[in-house]
């Protein structure tokens, strides 16, 4: 299958591209390289383009005979979305509407959308199921939920078959450890802690040590990138028969910030300074997934659920790429 991978040079997109190629599909990366890395997608077809370019999208969809689209090209920083809401509505919502319109014009029906647990906001109970109330508390979550709703209405016309996959915390290095996280600036917990272990940061900060959790720090659900990508592939393969799919993707087991720090110390064999500071506004004490639906309907099962194993893949990648990707 010819699959257009929008944002395919980013962390999740590049790992998905590698898996598609390994499984015999023909991925075509579509990226504007504002965040992605060219060296993460060597050996596959790459088109430099922007989701705001309707005619460019239609041309690529038609000329490359695209049969399905996977969309990883959203802006993802929660704090930034609060500071720059219009930019998030433009990129995450308006540009996705543009992409769906181009797909409609080119006659492409299959769509896999990278959504987020942020659609739930502050959950009333955990673990979170797909039918839990959705009350996003920031523009990032709001725009992702708006896209889900747009997809649902478009699917009701018969012109779209889609899967919306709500991630919890994607992490680790995938594709046999060849593709890791390299956000600039970095904002994800595991690579931040690894940078502290490598001596690239003076310390790692814990934002709030007084939460109602066993050790006082926030608990989150971490899912290895390979497991996440396998779920995408399973959802893609069902789009012929399933018009609408929505799944949570997580391990279902939470780890606290302090537990993640201790895991990096064990895996790396290094110590580093840890500083406790004030809570950040809007951080729930616990966010964990109930992925029962994905397991039952997709036949999906996480293969790397243990935190130390996840961290080990990330540590190996960062040690081999101390400056990240070179592009």
Question: So where are the chain's domains?
Answer: 2-171+222-249
Q: How far is the CA of 219 from the CAs of 33, 282, 286, 306, in angstroms?
A: 32, 14, 5, 15
The pLDDT tens digits of the residues spanning 247-267 come to 999 999 999 999 999 999 999
**8 A C-beta contact, residue 113 and residue 100:** no
- On the question of pLDDT at 286 being above 90, the answer is yes
Question: Smallest Cα–Cα separation from 127: which of 168, 66, 96?
Answer: 168
The pLDDT value given to residue 280: 86
Q: Report the chain's mean pLDDT, rounded to a whole number.
A: 96
The pLDDT value given to residue 72: 98
- On the question of pLDDT at 5 being above 90, the answer is yes
The reported pTM is 0.96
- Geometric angle at alpha carbon 60, from 150 and 26, rounded to 5°: 95
Rounded Cα gap, residues 55 and 73, in angstroms: 18
Q: How far is the CA of 99 from the CAs of 69, 78, 109, 112, 264, in angstroms?
A: 9, 23, 12, 12, 39
The pLDDT value given to residue 116: 97
The pLDDT tens digits of the residues spanning 191-249 come to 999 999 999 999 999 999 999 999 999 999 999 999 999 999 999 999 999 999 999 99
Output the six-digit token pair for 86: 């219009």
Residue 282: which pLDDT band, with cuts at 50, 70 and 90? confident
2-171+222-249 folds as Rossmann fold (3.40.50)
The pLDDT tens digits of the residues spanning 24-70 come to 999 999 999 999 999 999 999 999 999 999 999 999 999 999 999 99
- On the question of pLDDT at 104 being above 90, the answer is yes
- On the question of pLDDT at 93 being above 90, the answer is yes
Residue 281: which pLDDT band, with cuts at 50, 70 and 90? confident
Q: Report the share of the chain in percent with pLDDT over 70.
A: 100
**8 A C-beta contact, residue 312 and residue 26:** no
Rounded Cα gap, residues 188 and 191, in angstroms: 6
The pLDDT tens digits of the residues spanning 131-159 come to 999 999 999 999 999 999 999 999 999 99
- Geometric angle at alpha carbon 174, from 173 and 180, rounded to 5°: 35
Rounded Cα gap, residues 75 and 71, in angstroms: 12
**8 A C-beta contact, residue 119 and residue 134:** yes
- For CA atoms 311, 312, 315, 320, the dihedral sign is negative
Residues that are catalytic: 140
Mean per-residue pLDDT, 1-8: 98
Helices (runs of H) and strands (runs of E) counted in the chain? 11, 13
The pLDDT value given to residue 32: 97
Rounded Cα gap, residues 296 and 60, in angstroms: 35
């Amino acid at each position: 299958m010819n699959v257009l991978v929008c944002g395919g040079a980013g962390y999740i997109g590049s790992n998905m591209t590698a898996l598609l190629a390994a499984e015999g599909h023909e991925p075509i990366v579509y990226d504007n390289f504002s965040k992605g890395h060219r060296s993460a997608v060597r050996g596959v077809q790459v088109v430099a383009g922007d989701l705001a370019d309707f005619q460019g999208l239609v041309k690529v969809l038609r000329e490359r005979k695209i049969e399905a689209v996977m969309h990883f090209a959203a802006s993802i920083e929660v704090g930034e979305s609060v500071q720059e809401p219009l930019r998030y509505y433009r990129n995450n919502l308006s540009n996705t509407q543009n992409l769906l319109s181009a797909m409609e014009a080119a006659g492409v029906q299959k769509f896999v959308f990278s959504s987020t647990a942020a659609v739930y906001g502050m959950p009333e109970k955990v673990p979170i199921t797909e039918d839990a109330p959705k009350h996003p508390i920031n523009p990032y979550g709001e725009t992702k939920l708006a896209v889900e709703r747009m997809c649902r209405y478009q699917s009701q016309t018969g012109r779209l078959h889609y899967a919306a996959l709500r991630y919890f915390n994607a992490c680790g290095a995938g594709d046999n450890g060849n593709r890791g996280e390299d956000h600039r600036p970095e904002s994800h917990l595991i690579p931040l802690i690894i940078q502290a272990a490598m001596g690239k940061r003076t310390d790692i900060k814990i934002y709030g040590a007084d939460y109602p959790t066993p050790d006082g720090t926030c608990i989150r659900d971490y899912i290895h990138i390979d497991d996440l990508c396998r779920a995408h592939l399973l959802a893609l393969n069902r789009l012929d028969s399933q018009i609408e799919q929505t799944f949570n993707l997580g391990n279902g087991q939470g780890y606290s910030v302090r537990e993640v720090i201790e895991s990096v110390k064990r895996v790396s064999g290094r110590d580093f300074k840890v500083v406790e500071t004030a809570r950040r506004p809007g951080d729930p004490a616990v966010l964990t997934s109930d992925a029962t639906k994905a397991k039952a309907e997709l036949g999906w099962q996480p293969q790397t659920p243990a935190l130390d194993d996840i961290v080990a893949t990330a540590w190996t990648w960062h040690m081999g790429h101390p400056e990240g990707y070179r592009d």
